Amino acid sequence: MFKLQEIFPETDKGLKKATVALLVLVAFFLPFKFLVNIFIVLVFVAWLLSNPFKKLFTKTKNTQLFLAIFIFYLLHAIALLYTQNIGEGLFSLEIKVSMLIFPLLFYTEQFTGKQIQFFVKSFIIGTLFCCLLCLLRAIFTYISTNENNFYYEGLAWFQHPAYLTMYITFCCIALLLKNIFNKPYTYISIAFFTFFVLLLSSKAGIIIHFTMLIFCIASLFLKRKNYLKILGITFLGTLAFCIGLFFIPEVKQRFEGAFISLQTNNLDKNTTESTAIRRLIWNEATQIMKQNLLLGVSPGDANDALYESYKQNGLTAAYAKKLNAHSQYFQTGVGLGLLGLLSLLALFIVPLLENRKKIVLFFILIIALNFLTESMLQTMAGCIFLGYFYSIICFKDDSIFATTH
């Protein structure tokens, strides 16, 4: 449990307390999307009023981490010099501004371990409430209209299923590695989250979730050399995945479609099946990247270049839906070329060189794997999550994130 004076120490000034309160609100409301942007603006104003610029240019700790994410944002700003679609280029910067604000804040300001843990706890509680509200809404809709909203986009009321699944996976890893709830509540929360992930039916999200859970739990028992429990956890995780795959209709249908698409070499260019259409899109993105290898076409022109390629090569469904690259690696490669792609990879590599704690490793893996199938930095939901938790997890002292179980 957290005491109020631990989160808001009497020694902190009013502006610092306001900043902490706003960061708590950002974490709690992030799964819901609404009000978050207002809180971020207020956090930025509070940061400016704290006169942080002296610390910005004199601090030496975490400089490489700060530069890694700052350079990635800077490349998007520089790309405005050669973009054709200036409006889209500015919009791309606006979406990603939280990837600048939060690193600036956590790089220059000091927060206690209890405060950092409370930010993470607020996010977990917010995500739990979000999932419960989604489930209650689905139940109410089914009772009142007999409409089935228990799966995928019908269930994900506030967020796209892929993003909500990513949030949930991070929550489960944090619950396993941190002393956030007591053990019964921790295991109940993880079980509920895992059940909800299956209902969300995001194919990549389900695979990532179960893989991360199994590896995380196995790593905890590996330290104690309890190999029997590792085998048991692996078996139970695999069993739960298979039960979801074969007995939840929506999950079964979506995975069957994916397997068929992966086994087919001659894909129908009119297909709307998500795995097949990704394969088609990635092929178009690869061709664009080859033609603009070093700097890309600019983030502002990336989607326009993709749409034109879809049109010319007969990808009617992708063109009609105006789909982006559906992979952050391809999206960045098209927009910023090899230079941008290397900068994106640096976001993952630098933290692992600086800090090898489990929470850092699993956070980076969750982000890196989810980026494979979604252009998550094309939305505020992805950018805020990355900017906020990248800053919290990668910038802070090792002791704050030491394993507690």
What is residue 179's predicted lDDT score, i.e. its pLDDT?
Answer: 80
Q: Kindly provide the residue ranges of all beta strands, DSSP E only, lying in 258-381, ordered along the sequence.
A: none
126: its two tokens: 């917010």
In this predicted structure, which of 24-28, 42-46, 88-92, 243-247 has the lowest mean pLDDT? 243-247
Q: What is the pLDDT of residues 99-157, one digit of tens each?
A: 999 999 999 988 988 999 999 999 999 999 999 999 999 999 999 999 999 999 999 99
**Mean pLDDT along residues 154-180:** 94
In this predicted structure, which of 100-114, 139-153, 220-234, 326-340 has the lowest mean pLDDT? 220-234
**Mean pLDDT along residues 13-29:** 94
Q: What is the pLDDT of residues 205-216, one digit of tens each?
A: 999 999 999 999
What is residue 405's predicted lDDT score, i.e. its pLDDT?
Answer: 47
CA 310 – CA 285 distance, rounded (Å)? 10
Q: Is residue 73 very low, low, confident or very high in pLDDT (cuts 50, 70, 90)?
A: very high
**Mean pLDDT along residues 159-172:** 96
Report percent pLDDT > 90 for the chain. Answer: 70
Q: What is the pLDDT of residues 291-303, one digit of tens each?
A: 999 999 999 999 9
Model's pTM, two decimal places? 0.94
Report percent pLDDT > 70 for the chain. Answer: 97
What is residue 400's predicted lDDT score, i.e. its pLDDT?
Answer: 52
Q: Tell whether the model's pLDDT for residue 1 goes beyond 70.
A: no
What is residue 60's predicted lDDT score, i.e. its pLDDT?
Answer: 67
Q: Where are the chain's structural domains?
A: 12-46+61-261+324-401
User: pLDDT: is 300 or 272 the higher one?
Assistant: 300
Compute the mean pLDDT over every residue in the chain, rounded to the nearest whole number: 91
